Amino acid sequence: VVSDSEVIPFSVPGYACQRRTTLENHNSVLTDALSLLAENAELSDEDGRGVAFRRAAAVLKALPSAVTHVSQLTGLPCLGEHSLRVIKDILKNGTSSEVESTKASERFKALKVLTGIFGVGAKTADRWIREGIHNLQQLRSSGQTLNRAQQAGLEHYADIRQPVSTAEAEAIRGLVERAVASVLPGAQIVLTGGFRRGKLTGHDVDFLITHPEEGREVGLMPKLVSWLDSRGLLLYQKTSRNSYLESQDGPGRPPSNIDRFERCLSIFKLSTPEAAKTDLQDAAENGVQSEEDGESQSGELGQHLQRKAASERRWRAVRVDLVVSPVSQFAFALLGWTGSKLFERELRRWAGHERGMSLSSHALYDNKQVKRCTECRLTRLDKLAYLTTITFLKANL
Ligand code: DGT
Ligand code: MG
């Protein structure tokens, strides 16, 4: 038993982006619990509650040691009544009844399984659940119409659920680098997302691509995609074009979380290490699809069979995001695509509330100057964005 006088309260800054971030988490029992509640809220279309739990988890993750007594949390930011209740429950009983009952609930389990399919969001999953679909088997036999992304997601479900390793991310980087070098020499490519933050696994692999000469990046994505596709390296891809200039949230508008870069959501067909060398040679020499295509993917296989089939295959499916940015927006794009999602959210909130600026993956604007600048639109604003960003980054990162 610890008396209150022995307890040294922790202290952390209010915004997640002001804290040192670390991969070392001394409070994983607590943060896992809060993250699960955040996930449940997000899957239930309660984003506000989701963010509250994510913020609370981020505060606990930033602490230098394990919390042993609730009084250590006095004065910490972002710990609302609900989160504190969960924390107290765990400190006292070892588990939280709310977390345990959420984990066990049929609805949560079904939401997790269904949204685990690439291309299926919380709304679709909710509709399916209301129609009595709770798992992949029921979905397959339901006769639901699936779009192309969802079909690919269902077909490669077991592979995509499997975390991507650093080695696999590096292998994919190799492929993308070759493709980019071949279609636009001089273009630069950066591995972003969780891997850039030093995470050892990820749910996907994210890349940002640019060219040092403004404008040269135009037209790159279709060429890149067709290079990869013609070599049988893509199981699925959907490219959306850059819509920044025509967008509602372009210069002078409040930034939304979704950016407007040309972007390709894809599923790569990654050769397993033993097969990689020969397959790559095949691809390079013949420019044709490698063997075993479509094998074991009838759509009728259960997850177990899919996994078994995967172990006998010489490749696996990996989710990859490719983003192309003009070099003038590259700094913002890199910052925006490095994540984590909460870090980005907090950085934008901090910029807005504490500095009167709007940050997005395209630009950073001083809100006061943007208001005065009525007719200029892009060019002057971009220059301003550049200057303010440099000041911003020097001061804060
Ligand atoms: P992961 O892949 O689960 O291991 O974790 P992350 O951090 O790589 O997350 P991911 O892949 O969903 O996204 C990478 C980062 O890129 C994320 O931290 C925030 C950012 N991001 C993702 N999607 C968008 C988007 O549509 N617009 C913008 N601006 N940023 C995005
Ligand atoms: Mg990622």
> What are the residue boundaries of the structural domains of the chain, listed by start?
4-102, 105-155, 161-329, 336-396
pLDDT of residue 325: 96
Q: Is 321 annotated as a binding-site member?
A: yes
In short, whether 258's Cβ falls inside 6 Å of ligand 1 is yes
CATH number for domain 105-155, candidates 1.10.10.10, 3.90.1640.10, 1.10.150.20, 2.60.40.3880: 1.10.150.20
Question: For residue 251, is pLDDT > 50?
Answer: no
Q: Is 293 annotated as a binding-site member?
A: no
Q: Which atom of ligand 1 is nearest to the CA of 201?
A: 4
Task: Report, at the CATH architecture level, how domain 4-102 is classified.
Answer: Orthogonal Bundle (1.10)
* Residues whose CB falls within 8 Å of the CB of residue 141, separated by 6 or more in sequence, listed in order: none
In short, whether 203's Cβ falls inside 6 Å of ligand 1 is yes
Residue with CA nearest ligand 1 atom 9: 193
**Choice between 203 and 1, residue whose per-residue pLDDT is larger:** 203
Respond yes or no: is residue 321 known to be catalytic: yes
DSSP label at 256?
Answer: P
In short, whether 200's Cβ falls inside 6 Å of ligand 1 is no
Average pLDDT taken over every residue of the chain: 86
If you measure from the C-alpha of residue 127 to the centroid of ligand 1, how many angstroms do you get, rounded to a whole number?
26
In short, whether 340's Cβ falls inside 6 Å of ligand 1 is yes
Among 24, 30, 86, CA closest to 57 = 30
Q: Note whether 4-102 and 105-155 share their fold.
A: yes
Percent helix, strand and coil across the chain, each rounded to 5?
Answer: 55, 10, 35
Token couple for 362: 């395209």
In short, whether 193's Cβ falls inside 6 Å of ligand 1 is yes
Q: Which of 337, 344, 358 to mutate to test the pocket of ligand 1 (most atoms within 8 A of CB)?
A: 337
Residue with the two structure tokens 């870090």: 343
Task: Report, at the CATH architecture level, how domain 336-396 is classified.
Answer: 2-Layer Sandwich (3.30)
- Cα–Cα distance for residue pair 146/141, rounded to 1 Å: 12
Please state the rounded mean pLDDT for residues 177-202: 97
Which listed ligand is nearest to 205 at the C-alpha? 2
DSSP label at 94?
Answer: S
Q: How do residues 14-49 score in pLDDT, each as one tens digit?
A: 999 999 877 899 999 999 999 999 999 999 999 999
Q: pTM to 2 decimals? A: 0.83
**Number of other residues whose CB lies within 10 A of the CB of residue 178:** 17
Q: Which atom of ligand 1 is nearest to the CA of 204?
A: 2
If you measure from the C-alpha of residue 205 to the centroid of ligand 1, how many angstroms do you get, rounded to a whole number?
9
Respond yes or no: is residue 293 known to be catalytic: no
- pLDDT tier for residue 394 given thresholds of 50, 70 and 90: low
**Choice between 291 and 154, residue whose per-residue pLDDT is larger:** 154
Question: For residue 378, is pLDDT > 50?
Answer: no
Residue 211 region by backbone torsions, left for phi larger than 0, else alpha for psi between -120 and 50, else beta: beta
Say which CATH topology domain 161-329 has. Answer: Beta Polymerase; domain 2 (3.30.460)
Token couple for 349: 């909130």
Out of 180-189, 195-204, 283-292, 357-366, least confident range: 283-292
Please state the rounded mean pLDDT for residues 121-137: 97
Q: Which residues of 226-239 are buried (b: 16+ CB within 10 A; e: fewer)?
A: ebbeebbbbbbbee
Please state the rounded mean pLDDT for residues 282-286: 52
- Cα–Cα distance for residue pair 102/143, rounded to 1 Å: 29
If you measure from the C-alpha of residue 157 to the centroid of ligand 2, how many angstroms do you get, rounded to a whole number?
17
Q: Is 204 annotated as a binding-site member?
A: yes
- pLDDT tier for residue 232 given thresholds of 50, 70 and 90: very high
Q: Which atom of ligand 1 is nearest to the CA of 163?
A: 4
Q: Are 130 and 124 in contact (CB under 8 A)?
A: no
Q: Which atom of ligand 1 is nearest to the CA of 337?
A: 16
If you measure from the C-alpha of residue 337 to the centroid of ligand 2, how many angstroms do you get, rounded to a whole number?
9
If you measure from the C-alpha of residue 259 to the centroid of ligand 2, how many angstroms do you get, rounded to a whole number?
15
If you measure from the C-alpha of residue 341 to the centroid of ligand 1, how many angstroms do you get, rounded to a whole number?
6
ipTM of the complex: 0.95
3-state secondary structure (DSSP) of residue 58: helix
Question: For residue 248, is pLDDT > 60?
Answer: no
Handedness of CA 157, 261, 23, 87 (dihedral sign): negative
Q: Which of 196, 249, 341 to mutate to test the pocket of ligand 1 (most atoms within 8 A of CB)?
A: 341
- Cα–Cα distance for residue pair 193/203, rounded to 1 Å: 10
Percent of the chain at pLDDT > 70 equals 78
Reported as half-sphere exposure (CB side, CA atoms, 13 A), residue 238 has a value of: 10
pLDDT of residue 369: 79
- pLDDT tier for residue 160 given thresholds of 50, 70 and 90: very high
* Residues whose CB falls within 8 Å of the CB of residue 200, separated by 6 or more in sequence, listed in order: 165, 166
pLDDT of residue 182: 98
Question: For residue 299, is pLDDT > 50?
Answer: no
In short, whether 346's Cβ falls inside 6 Å of ligand 1 is no
* Residues whose CB falls within 8 Å of the CB of residue 338, separated by 6 or more in sequence, listed in order: 192, 193, 196, 197
